[in-house]
Amino acid sequence: MSTAAYTLVGPADPLPAATGNAAPDWRERLATWAGAALSVAVLIVVARQLGGGGIARLAEAATGSPAFWAAFVLTYMATPACDWLIFRRLWRLPGTGLLALLRKEVSNELLFGYAGDAQFYLWARRHVAMSGSPFGAVKDVAVLSAVAGNVATLAMMAATAPMLAHFADRPGAEAFVGSVAVVVAISLALFLFRRAVFSLPARELRAVFAIHCLRIALHIGLSALTWHLLLPSVPLAAWMALATLRQMVTRLPLVSNKDILFAGLATFLLGRAGGVADAIATLASLTVGAHLLVGAVAHAAQLATREERA
């Protein structure tokens, strides 16, 4: 797929030339209803999460200096911003496409993995005119995101091997080893069958992979900075190590008790320093709160736009 093959069309513009002025076929209708259904699902999740005093808990957690909030916003925006850079390269996506990518991020986090990618694909079908389907590009970007995460995980495991050896005789060690084997197998399979898996040109694949690696590095560094601003008594280097370990743990597919494993690693690394657990919990709560706020606004705006077009 060449970059020139993609052209963005505005919300009020006609459908791509392939459909002309004819009424949308069943696939377009299905895309419309599927996108709306995902938006409604996110709003339902938001309402349930905010119920039972959720707003009060979020307001209570919303403390910190301007520097903390700046770091938090940058951390939250790292993933959608990097996604925007990717699709800007592939589709010449304008700044307004960032809203669709925010919906993608929120749907992935609040619903289930890759729900947001499916929704973004449906959005791209309606708003991006191209010679072929956007599915190949969306699929390649999602797969390369997983590959970058796997490569980063393996690199982190190699760097933290002495620490991980401390947990070799703990419960769940077999699942940990099995997870490593799965990560290696998936990464190796994708490399061996890359011609059958990927549809983008090699140059574009390398660029997308590099941006994903940048995203991971930014997320680790900014998360560590945000924690440090929340609890300055813990050195930034220690928070950096902890953020690296969290990134590694979240990528393990066969470990069901990821939170327990992460807590054990955090205790081993930082000891029982006062406030560490509270800082981690506070940032996690604020992240969920940001998902709820962004999800409510972005998905409500999408539904309102659909109503105006109807």
Please, which residues bridge with residue 6 across strands? 130
Residues 6+ apart with CB under 8 A from 234: 227, 228, 270, 273, 275, 276, 279
Tell me if 1 is assigned to some domain: no
Most confident of 72-86, 102-116, 257-271, 293-307: 72-86
Spatial distance between the Cα atoms of 33 and 285, rounded to a whole number of angstroms:
32
108 in Cβ contact with 115 (< 8 Å)? yes
Tell me if 18 is assigned to some domain: no
Q: Which residue has the higher pLDDT, 265 or 219?
A: 219
Q: CA neighbours within 13 Å on the CB side: how many for 171?
A: 4
Tell me if 16 is assigned to some domain: no
Tell me if 11 is assigned to some domain: no
What is the average pLDDT score of the chain? 74
Domain range for 304 is: 25-309
What pLDDT is recorded for position 80?
A: 94
What pLDDT is recorded for position 59?
A: 46
Tell me if 20 is assigned to some domain: no
Most confident of 75-79, 99-103, 171-175, 289-293: 75-79
Tell me if 4 is assigned to some domain: no
Long-range contacts of 154-163 (CB under 8 A, 24+ apart): 154/180, 154/183, 154/184, 154/187, 156/244, 156/245, 156/247, 156/248, 157/248, 159/244, 160/244, 160/245, 160/248, 163/265, 163/268, 163/269
State the average pLDDT over residues 241-260: 73
Which pLDDT band, with edges at 50, 70 and 90, does 5 fall under? very low
Q: Which residue has the higher pLDDT, 52 or 108?
A: 108
What pLDDT is recorded for position 114?
A: 75
Tell me if 184 is assigned to some domain: yes
Phi, psi angles (nearest 5°) of residue 183: -60, -45
What pLDDT is recorded for position 231?
A: 84
What pLDDT is recorded for position 207?
A: 96
Residue 33 has pLDDT above 70, yes or no: no
pLDDT tens-digit readout, 123-155: 887 777 665 567 888 889 999 998 998 888 888
Q: Which residue has the higher pLDDT, 51 or 23?
A: 51
Tell me if 10 is assigned to some domain: no
pTM: 0.74
Q: What is the three-class DSSP state of 113?
A: coil
Residue 159 has pLDDT above 60, yes or no: yes
What pLDDT is recorded for position 274?
A: 60
Number of domains in the chain: 1
